[in-house]
Amino acid sequence: MLIEAEGIAVAIGGRPVLDGEFVHCEPGTMTALVGPSGSGKTTLLHCLGLLLPVDRGRVLIDGKDVTTCGSAARRRFWRDHAAFVLQDYGIMDDESVAFNVTMRSSPLGRRATGDGRRLAQVLEQTGLAGRQDEAASHLSGGEKQRLALARAIYKRAAVVFVDEPTASLDAANRMKVIDLFTEFAANGRTVIVSTHDFEMIEACGVRHEIGSGRISNPTRAQPGHQR
Ligand SMILES: Nc1ncnc2c1ncn2[C@@H]1O[C@H](COP(=O)(O)OP(=O)(O)O)[C@@H](O)[C@H]1O
Ligand SMILES: [Mg+2]
């Protein structure tokens, strides 16, 4: 899915946070939203994911203006097409790791259901192998973030919104996570990442600097090229 912002502006508490951002996020590409802390990366990510309304400008999905679409259409987008790996995780602490990944339980009990093989595979990929029956509340901050990632992989969503995925990870897991998102994009998904991690930015095909002016043609990053 093609996700675009056309000149979007957002003020929070009367203070302008975004002012005329143009972003173009293509399928098969990982787009980095880049800027210093407080520059509005998370805000822009939330606008693109239809989690936050804009004050000005337009958000488009596959060329269709969804800036003022209703809550039913937004929910459909979240349910059927999008996965979110956000800083506040969106993890249900009282539920098992397995339920948090598959988001399905049996009608008669609290046992998580879904595709067991795929569940085991994504837990393995995210370093959470064997932990499906634990309550999510047992996990550390970094593990919860990997759990959100496991959910996104399991869902095979067309668009993946990711907020600072490597911020609380050690070096080994950072590289693993960067590789996973690179693979998402290589599989044709639209991956949008807010980050100030140099290696994560390097892995992105397109880099959008917040507040860099009215860019309609964002810089194409050169893989491996030092900036
Ligand atoms: N809910 C909020 N209430 C008040 N200010 C906010 C809120 N969300 C974001 N901001 C402000 O908007 C600016 C951009 O925030 P954010 O998008 O989180 O930046 P980044 O992700 O780049 O660190 C910051 O100055 C932040 O304090
Ligand atoms: Mg942020």
**How does pLDDT run across 105-137, given as a tens digit for each residue?**
777 666 777 888 999 999 998 889 999 999 999
Q: Distance from the CA of 45 to the center of ligand 1, in angstroms?
A: 12
Ligand nearest to the CA of residue 163, numbered in listed order: 2
Ligand nearest to the CA of residue 38, numbered in listed order: 1
Residue closest via CA to ligand 1's atom 1 equals 12
Quick one: pLDDT at residue 89? Answer: 64
Quick one: pLDDT at residue 110? Answer: 65
Q: Distance from the CA of 40 to the center of ligand 1, in angstroms?
A: 6
Quick one: pLDDT at residue 140? Answer: 86
pLDDT higher than threshold 50 for residue 147: yes
pLDDT higher than threshold 70 for residue 226: no
Quick one: pLDDT at residue 108? Answer: 66
CB 193 within 8 Å of CB 19: no
**DSSP E strand stretches across 13-104:** 15-25, 30-34, 56-61, 64-65, 82-85
If DSSP codes are grouped into helix, strand and coil, which group holds residue 149?
A: helix
CB 145 within 8 Å of CB 85: yes
Q: Which helix (H) or strand (E) holds 200?
A: helix 198-203
Quick one: pLDDT at residue 88? Answer: 67
Quick one: pLDDT at residue 224? Answer: 43
Environment of ion ligand 2 (residues, CB < 5 A): 41-42
- Nearest C-alpha neighbor of 45 from the set 220, 222, 210: 210
Mutate to test the pocket of ligand 1, among 18, 33, 39, 43 (most ligand atoms within 8 A of CB): 43
CB 152 within 8 Å of CB 85: yes
Neighbour tally for 24: CB within 10 Å: 18
| Closest ligand 1 atom to 37 CA | 23
**How does pLDDT run across 153-189, given as a tens digit for each residue?**
999 999 999 999 888 788 888 898 899 999 999 999 9
Mean pLDDT, residues 83-111:
81
Structure tokens at 100: 């948090």
Q: Distance from the CA of 34 to the center of ligand 2, in angstroms?
A: 10
